[in-house]
Structure 1
Amino acid sequence: MASSKNKRSGVWNYFDQNDQHVVCKICQIELSYHNSTSTMRSHMKSKHQTVNIDQSTEERQLPITAFTTAGNVRPMCTPERAEKTTNLISKMIARDMLPLSFVKGDGFKEVLHFLEPDYNPPSRKTITARIELQYECKVSELKTTLGKVEFVAITTDSWTSLTTESYVTITCHFIADSKVKSYVLQTRALEERHSAANLAEHLKTSVEQWGLAGKVVACVHDNASNIVAANRDVDWESLSCFAHTLQLAINDGFKAASINRLIGACSKLVGHFHHSTIASNALKQKQRQLELPSHKLMQYCKTRWNSAADMLARLHEQRWAITAVLSDRTTTKLADAKTLELIDDHWQTIEEILPVLQTLKIATEALGGENYVSVSMVYPLVHSLLSRHLQVSGEESQKVNEFKNTVAASLKQRVHNANLQNAGKTPLLASALDPRHKHLRFLDENMRVSVREKLFEQYQSISSDVMGAGGAVAAAAADEEDEPVPSHRRRLSLFFGEDYSESSRDEWEQFLTEPCIPPDEDPINWWKDNTKRFKKLGHLAHRYLCVPATSVPAERVFSAAGLIVNRLRCRLSPEHVDMLVFLNKNM
């Protein structure tokens, strides 16, 4: 092999000579050599444009794992680096919900060439294969995680894509590492009719495929009759989404004649500013003059009751700017102003009803989270609404009191009276295990006793050898932090058994007499610190506190899915839709 020391051209720093051939040190390609550097220079200009072949002698001594461009050292694109780049691109597409055709874009290729001149951009087919591989790896990883969990809850909901395909989403929730964890299991197309039988079969099959048979505590869903019926003959408890139930109750309040007229008038007013460029620009000008926030008006959507609260709050904030625009004849005709202006009684009702709506909005948002305990708050929250926030007041107008009475009556019918007949329901047992609400003051004395009796029955049925992730494992983790118990003491404890000292009853009674923690503290952290003292109850806490109060986690998938299945990706197969949603939500 000839040495490059006697070669004058800088191009020799990037080639090795072997008889009548030269080999590029960057990409390992072999070229013919005929006592001329022309072929090598052409190769460098076409394949490695950013490399400075006319570098100094000092620069020639740099290792071939790097090359210079504009005075900076850049790592060479090795096969390993190219592999990692391709994987990162596929992850980016899933995480940012980009179309697969993104890799074919000229702009993307231009940026990529600037960053990695020696990297060959992947094709759509390559990216699809990588996404499929990432999906398989993530599914395997999640199944391993779920295999270590003793109790899970699931939520489900269905939606229809732009391509009119019907999908059913299932999410799962459990407690691990002292945290409430949530994952999207699948978003599968359901070609059959959404009958109760088909949905039930779909749920059972999915639970078995994910290795969750016998682990599901409850399924949370909306109030649709087909999904309610599908959850009747199953191994888990059927729970209606509380957010959906609360929305139905609030919508009943909106149907009251006076509030209905107010909502209609406000929606019409907001619609005028949304559809008129002149009115919208005039509003911006009035906002600057009156030093009001530059906020757009918000429209009411019937499927989201809290949008009514947002609409009224924004109108109240922008009242004087709106009034100024409507009274300006250069921007608003007199005839339009007469039909759009809100009367003083409307503005007064808005001011009075806003605190009520804000309270209901807080209740909805408090129960819609995925990463904290929520099911135990359902009945305490309903009780607080009925006993405090929805109580009529002589200082408020008849319209607001009518709204309160209607919502309260609907809540009592849909939640309070209907569901308080069963002391063994998950939300009640969860409240009894939640150190914030275990006093059960929101129940009458008879119901309080019934709930505790149901819980104590389950408590007594637990033996030490069946406690899994919820009890024994957590207790063992707590034990590791303390000094180990001498072996002879452990043997004596096993010899006499738990019943010898009535420790089981002591644990139960001690838990009942423990003071409650404040409502804003995390019950999972409390159980983390106290599982060693209450091992069996900790086991039950893991069972019931993992259940979400709403099916919002499944509904949240729709927004991501709507961006994935769009007009740029209308040819995506249902299988790839499932993969992309799964990766997007579980990364």
Structure 2
Amino acid sequence: MIPCPGGTRHMGRKTFSNYLEKEYTKMESELKKIFEGLEYISTTSDIWSVHNRSFLGITSHWINPTTLQRQKAALACKRIKGRHTYAVIASEIDHIHSLYGVSTKVTSTVTDNGSNFVKAFAMYQPESLSDDDDDDEEEVIFTDVADVLNTAAEEGIVLPPHQRCASHTLNLISCADVLKWLLSNPGTKGIYRSSTAKCTALWNKASRSTVASEIVSDVVTKKLLVPCTTRWNSFYDAVARIVEIPMTDLSAISDRLQLKSISDRELHFLKEYCAIMKPLTVALDILQGEENCYFSTLLPTLETLMSKTLEMKDSLTVATGLPEAIVQAIKKRFASVLESNDAMLAAVTLPKFKLRWVRDQRKKEMVKGILAAECHKCVPGPEQQPARNPVSPTTPPDSGSSKDKEQDFFCFEDDDETFSKFHTIKAICLKQSAATPSSAPVERLFSLGSLVLSPKRNRLSDQRFEKLLLMRYNHWFES
């Protein structure tokens, strides 16, 4: 509800429009003022299509240096016309970052694995980053004339480092990699197809007929869940609901609906499937969080996911090789994250994790070395350090500053209180943990957008819709 100035008096259309413009300008100025005081922020971005219109959404995320609380704000939900090419996406993202003065402060931008986003960030990285990715061999590249003509307009566009959405990647593992293994393995191919076909028939019957739904309600107290095509989690939840039903009740439901009943072996397979996939669903829920989910969460979550998945392989009788297949898929799709120094620094500097997630002793020593090196980089050089009191000839040179900062971690690891007194560790954490592990926040922006741009209000102008959505997402009128 948007409060009206001047008590309860209703405003006319023109007065209300002027009021919204004034409030939006005030909100935009307030955000810019907040960003001026920040050193590190991150953004998420995605494209949403509704009512034959497409919008590019961008949200920002940072850690308050004083309270250490996660904070967020929506920056844009801008209309995009024409094709969603990588050049158009790059130009809009760069423009929005520049508009709020955060181009040099964004540590990373999180998007899904869409090819247009991936190419945009690959093409418009700073030279120091893009040069590292170039192959030694020269390659002949054919350039489109239109691209040449647009080069002048695209010059000067620089995007921050790109981070792929971890939730989207885990969904790909659940849908593509797991399905590929189940259908290519002779021991699971037939039983997977038959069991899911019977489940699908049951879902269709119960969801499309009120009589069938009443029959199910007569036998079991919980309603059957129907999977959604866009969310793998919904498929897992629907199967998990079926395996909770006793075999006798399942047979009774199938008989009354005149459907083929799920056999004992098929039910056993579905139970194994749910047991294997449960850690993955928990990981998805963690990584799609927002208020208390940092980039620091990603690496410990992946390590724990792989460990818990492998733990159950000895208790399986049908899908015996599926846990190893899932772990291999995680290692392949998250290879860059698992070996990333930034991801390790983010995890190890967050008090919630520290070194507890590292089980291998050699890796633990390696992580300590990476952190010590990062702490050393944070120590100013001799020419930058303030003048100290003269040191007598008998006193050894004071090198304690560098050593103390490098050793912050070893005290920090044993400290159960907040890390606010370890300034170097805090500075590293604020930088590395600014990003979110997934692009779920911008998807929540679009969910809110569907309430603003409802069928009854689909004639809102693009600019008015964006302003209403951003003010609502940023809770501008709550106070």
**Distance in 1 (alpha carbons) for counterparts of 2:472 and 2:250:** 41
The 5 Å alignment of 1:116-195 reads 121-162=10-51, 164-176=52-64, 177-195=67-85
2:401 to 499, 503, 511: 503
Determine if contact 2:304/2:357 at 8 Å carries over to the other structure: no
Equivalent in the alignment of 1:238: 162
1:230 Cα deviation from its structure 2 partner: 1.4
The 5 Å alignment of 1:245-284 reads 245-251=169-175, 252-255=177-180, 256-257=182-183, 258=188, 259-284=192-217
CA gap 1:302/1:148 in 2 versus in 1, 3 angstroms: same
Equivalent in the alignment of 1:299: 226
The answer as to 2:354 corresponding to 1:438 is yes
Determine if contact 2:276/2:309 at 8 Å carries over to the other structure: yes
The 5 Å alignment of 1:37-116 reads 86-87=4-5
Q: Aligned AA for 1:500?
A: D
Equivalent in the alignment of 2:439: 551
2:424 to 536, 541, 551: 536
Equivalent in the alignment of 1:315: 242
The 5 Å alignment of 1:165-564 reads 165-176=53-64, 177-232=67-122, 233=125, 234=158, 236-251=160-175, 252-255=177-180, 256-257=182-183, 258=188, 259-287=192-220, 292=221, 295-319=222-246, 321-328=249-256, 332=257, 336-338=258-260, 341-391=261-311, 393-399=313-319, 401-415=320-334, 417-421=335-339, 423-424=340-341, 426-439=342-355, 442=358, 451-462=367-378, 495=389, 500=398, 502-515=400-413, 529-532=418-421, 534-564=422-452
- Percent of matched pairs sharing the same residue: 25
**Distance in 1 (alpha carbons) for counterparts of 2:369 and 2:160:** 21
Determine if contact 2:310/2:324 at 8 Å carries over to the other structure: yes
Per-residue CA deviation, residues 420-479 of structure 1 (Å, 9 max, x unaligned), is 44x43x3222123223433276486666566555544443333579xxxxxxxxxxxxxx
Determine if contact 1:153/1:173 at 8 Å carries over to the other structure: yes
**Distance in 1 (alpha carbons) for counterparts of 2:293 and 2:9:** 48
Q: Aligned AA for 2:331?
A: K
CA gap 1:147/1:262 in 2 versus in 1, 3 angstroms: farther
**Distance in 2 (alpha carbons) for counterparts of 1:229 and 1:375:** 22
**Distance in 1 (alpha carbons) for counterparts of 2:121 and 2:22:** 34
Q: Aligned AA for 1:121?
A: H
Unaligned runs of 5+ in 1: 1-83, 89-115, 466-491, 519-525
Determine if contact 2:408/2:424 at 8 Å carries over to the other structure: no
Pick which of 215-224 and 432-441 moved more. 432-441
CA gap 1:389/1:457 in 2 versus in 1, 3 angstroms: same
Across the aligned residues of Structure 1 and Structure 2, the Cα RMSD in angstroms comes to: 2.9
3-state DSSP class of the match of 1:153?
strand
**Distance in 2 (alpha carbons) for counterparts of 1:496 and 1:210:** 46
Determine if contact 2:299/2:337 at 8 Å carries over to the other structure: no
CA gap 1:445/1:227 in 2 versus in 1, 3 angstroms: farther
1:404 Cα deviation from its structure 2 partner: 2.3
**Distance in 1 (alpha carbons) for counterparts of 2:401 and 2:49:** 55
State TM-score, norm by structure 2. Answer: 0.79
Q: Aligned AA for 2:354?
A: K
Per-residue CA deviation, residues 501-533 of structure 1 (Å, 9 max, x unaligned), is 513312322413543679xxxxxxx5xx3323x
Q: Aligned AA for 1:344?
A: D
Q: Aligned AA for 2:443?
A: E
Per-residue CA deviation, residues 120-140 of structure 1 (Å, 9 max, x unaligned), is 533444433333332222222
1:494 Cα deviation from its structure 2 partner: 5.1
Per-residue CA deviation, residues 367-421 of structure 1 (Å, 9 max, x unaligned), is 112222432222222222223323453331222x343233222111111x34444
CA gap 1:407/1:87 in 2 versus in 1, 3 angstroms: farther
Q: Aligned AA for 2:75?
A: L
CA gap 1:160/1:380 in 2 versus in 1, 3 angstroms: same
Determine if contact 1:438/1:512 at 8 Å carries over to the other structure: no
Determine if contact 2:42/2:435 at 8 Å carries over to the other structure: yes
**Distance in 1 (alpha carbons) for counterparts of 2:245 and 2:14:** 52
Q: Which has the higher contact order (CA 8 A, sep 6+)?
A: 2
In the comparison of the two structures, how many residue pairs are matched? 419
Pick which of 271-280 and 122-131 moved more. 122-131
CA gap 1:455/1:265 in 2 versus in 1, 3 angstroms: same
CA gap 1:390/1:517 in 2 versus in 1, 3 angstroms: farther
**Distance in 1 (alpha carbons) for counterparts of 2:423 and 2:388:** 16
